[in-house]
A and B are shown apart, each in its own frame.
Chain A
Amino acid sequence: MIQTEPLALRVRDVAPLSPTLKRVVLEAADGGPLPTTQPGAHLSLALPCEHGAHHNSYSIVSGCHDRAAYELIVRRTATSRGGSRFIHEALGIGRVLQSSAPNSQFSLQSRARRHLLIGGGVGITPLLSFLRELRGRGGHLEMHHFAGVAEVPVFEALLEPFASADVHVHAGRAGFDPLPLLERQPLGTHLYCCGPAVLMNIVQQGAIAAGWPPTSVHSESFAAAGGDPFVVRLARTGGEIAVGEHESMLEALENAGLPVPSLCRGGACGECLTAVLEGAPDHRDHVLSDGEKAEGRLVMPCVSRAKTPFLTLDL
């Protein structure tokens, strides 16, 4: 897996799109060109908080050949652990943030003859970069985006550059049955879904019901952060680290000065794989097989937590 040096990014612009959505434009702090990205790529930004830093992943919505700036759209979440709140309340023009290099776990499939994009809310962000790419190459697509009634104009404006008969914004997903939509897709269609868990679940269930093979269904979830607090015991280095309600196990380890190699921070890439010696992990990743999850000897600390009060790791 390609892993390049972290980036220092300076905020060129930050502007509200709606009461809870902000567009953030970042440029290289040294003024140079940024690494090229891929459609669907994201950045993991280190956002300062009381105990150190939260690392939040945000999809890049600007074009992948735009090396002057990266553009993100950030939703302020009600249950923010501090990351999106920091961006919405404290982040100003000129501020420099540490970031991972762009990294992609969600990409357009080169063999697809047609692309079906289904998004919900701020889950539009990776789909915007897919749309830009597909419009550029004249790919066959159909997009359905679901938004709360109040935000429909915001998403319509974001989709305006790509507007056509094949791009639809729906006010609310009440009554949305994905089955007819999935059943009428021609052979060779690939599905990409990003949005709230409820939407992704009904779409995935619909795809199974319509006979789609799992290899044609792609989704990206927002990292499931937070849950009951627990304590990590370190078998090799000794000591205990408390994992709070609003932080991930990976962040708690990092903030305690024990960096675990990581990339996507969303349970998708497998980079932070860590061995479990005692305790029962609460698996929330998409990497381990069902068998491995049941066995409980491995864990992805970026998203997974513990079912037991203690989790002993081979660290």
Chain B
Amino acid sequence: MPEPTIKSRPVYARLSRDPGGRRHLLVADAPDAALRGLASETTIDDFDERWTIVSNSRAIPSPEAGAAEQSFRSVQHLLLALHRRLAEERMGLRLYAVGAEPFLWSVHAVADDFGMSRREIHLCAAAVAARRVFCNHCRTISEGVTRTIFACHGCKAPLLVRDHFSRRLNAFAGVQADAEAPGDLPDIEDLPETGDLHA
């Protein structure tokens, strides 16, 4: 049985332009993600720059710095560009990310490395069924987990997926379900969706 939502779970909100910022960069993990994550009365043009992952090998970011629209092939492709960009950025930037929870916290980790504070980063999580789960026993991160109990992709331990999300590891905690009584396993259940932005 999945535990009820616990207090440490991140809270997300639909995105709107932060009036305190001077430059606004929105990153989205899919072409339609950004539109779905906007607060009412917010339009895509409220963000000076929109970076989108299009999952297409032909995507080439514009060489023009500060172009309003940029397309990227993959999460890694976008994160590398974000790293280069933030290294050059000045105070006054606000960063917005919309998409699946693992994408948000990958973006957050880059921003955090550059000293951006919670007040400068805004996240909106799209609802997705799959979770990243960190194995507390072998430290493997299993991708695409939709059920608890599941076999760890590293050590094969039957893992119970806790509702505890680690921002640092960008994953839910997984603990061996039969640690106390080997072989005594609870029923397998579907995990509820994470994120709070339903299509």
Contacts and interface: CB of A to CB of B under 8 A. Distances in A.
Interface of A: 111-114, 182-189, 208, 210-216
Contacts of B120: 187, 213
B63 interface: no
A33 to B, nearest CB: 36
B92 interface: yes
Contacts of A214: 20, 119
B91 interface: yes
A236 B94 CA distance: 51
Contacts of A183: 90-92
A272 to B, nearest CB: 29
Contacts of A212: 91-92
Given A187-B114, A188-B114, A215 B119 contact: yes
Instruction: Label chain B's interface by main secondary structure.
Output: loop
B48 to A, nearest CB: 12
Contacts of B116: 187-188
Contacts of A185: 90-91
Contacts of B20: 208, 211, 213-214
Contacts of B21: 211
Contacts of A216: 91, 117, 119
Contacts of A112: 115
A187 B119 contact: no
B91 A215 contact: no
B130 interface: no
Nearest to A113: B115
Nearest to B121: A213
Interface in B80-105: 86, 89-94
21 contacts: A111-B115, A111-B117, A114-B115, A182-B91, A184-B90, A185-B91, A186-B91, A187-B90, A187-B116, A189-B91, A210-B92, A211-B20, A211-B23, A211-B91, A211-B92, A212-B91, A212-B92, A213-B117, A214-B119, A215-B118, A215-B119
Contacts of B86: 187
Give the interface centre of A185, A189, A208, A212 by most chain B CB atoms within 10 Å. Answer: A212
Given A112-B115, A214-B119, A215-B119, A187 B89 contact: yes
B35 to A, nearest CB: 25
B156 interface: no
Given A211-B20, A214-B119, A113 B114 contact: yes
Which interface residue of B21, B91, B114, B116 has the most chain A CB atoms within 10 A? B91
B104 to A, nearest CB: 18
A182 B120 CA distance: 16
Nearest to A214: B119
A187 B90 CA distance: 5
A186 B89 contact: yes
B9 interface: no
B119 A213 contact: yes
Given A187-B93, A187-B114, 8 more contacts: A113-B115, A114-B115, A182-B91, A183-B92, A184-B90, A187-B86, A211-B22, A212-B91
Contacts of A184: 90
Contacts of B89: 186-187
B116 to A, nearest CB: 6
Closest 4 CB pairs of A and B: A188-B115, A211-B92, A211-B22, A213-B119
A134 to B, nearest CB: 15
A210 B92 CA distance: 6
A187 B22 contact: no
Given A208-B20, A211-B21, A189 B119 contact: no
Interface string B1-29: 00000000000000000001111000000
Contacts of B119: 213-216
A185 B89 CA distance: 9
B86 to A, nearest CB: 6
